[in-house]
Amino acid sequence: MTALKGRCLCGACRFTATPSPGHSAGVCHCSMCRRWSGGIFLSVPCGDSVEFEDDAPLLVYDSSDWGQRVSCSACGSTLVWRTKDRSMNQVSIQAFDDPGQFEIGMEIFVDDKPASYGLSNETTKMTGAEVMAMFAPQEAEE
């Protein structure tokens, strides 16, 4: 896929990002994402391709030992969840002009999802423990 342009609500934070080939968009139901985004966080993986314009007024919040949440400091728009080394960026599909271009294929932290909503399509589902196991350092066998 080619690089796409994205922006926040007020337009102060503009960026380009290239969605990772072969990956669909995903949904995070964790309590942090729900509080941060005001709902579910719908995002598309973009690897390390996210490039903000130099004057973008970014608000970067360290939400864990390894993750950051990036928002616009002017309008508060939710933009990107990323690893602190910036090698993995999950970009809000709502920041792109056509969020409908992204098929939702995965839901994570499904064990944190409130019972009051659900997606209508079939998705791959992972619990919080399964997601954390992907990121936790592997202990060497003795």
Q: Which domains are seen in the chain, by residue range? A: 4-27+34-106 (2.170.150.70)
CA distance 28 to 22: 19
CA distance 64 to 21: 27
* The model's pTM: 0.90
Which residues of the chain carry a pLDDT beneath 50?
Answer: 140-142
Give the tens place of pLDDT for each residue, 92-102: 999 999 999 99
Residue showing tokens 């509080």: 35
β-strand 25-28 against 104-108: which pairing, if any? parallel
